[in-house]
């Protein structure tokens, strides 16, 4: 019985997360941003963290925003597509961050389906009779 509960939770929570993020996407604007500089923070054992500073314009207003990324994958003068929030244009989301969360949602939904299927098959095997 607990298998059904765990499986259903693993299906519902990622689905709710996906629907919530989809709702938030409606409040974002796609813009092209240029990396104007990069700063590096030495994280010790956990590794270095890079903070590229993105510059972009929305409705004639210029913004600069620093975003934490794990690797130095955005050289200076690189132009990438970002997502800025309409109500807070200084807050941005990078395309890589969206891909990671969608992948995690799909993974957990598949795990939930597998747990529910396993529970069904396990219960069926408990009540099956073999005729010789």
Averaged confidence pLDDT in the chain? 80
Residue 52: exposed, middle, or buried by beta-carbon count in 10 A (0-12, 13-18, 19+)?
buried
Binned at pLDDT 50, 70 and 90, residue 45 comes out as: low
The residue that leads in pLDDT, 5 or 129, is 5
The CA distance from 109 to 31, in Å, is 31
Specify the range with the lowest mean pLDDT, choosing from 10-14, 45-49, 90-94, 128-132: 128-132
Percent of the chain with pLDDT over 90: 13
Structural element, H or E, at residue 16 = helix 2-25
Taking the whole predicted model, whether its pTM rises above 0.85 is answered as: no
């Amino acid at each position: 019985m607990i298998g059904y509960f765990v499986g259903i939770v693993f299906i519902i929570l990622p689905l709710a997360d996906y629907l919530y993020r989809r709702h938030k996407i409606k409040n974002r604007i796609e813009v092209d941003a240029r990396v104007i500089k990069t700063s590096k923070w030495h994280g010790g054992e956990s590794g270095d963290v890079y903070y590229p500073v993105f510059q972009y314009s929305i409705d004639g207003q210029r913004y600069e925003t620093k975003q934490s990324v794990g690797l130095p994958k955005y050289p200076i003068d690189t132009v990438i597509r970002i997502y800025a929030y309409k109500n807070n244009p200084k807050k941005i989301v990078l395309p890589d961050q969206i891909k990671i969360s969608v992948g995690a949602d799909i993974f957990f939904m598949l795990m939930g389906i597998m747990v529910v299927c396993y529970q069904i098959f396990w219960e069926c095997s408990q009540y099956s009779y073999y005729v010789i």
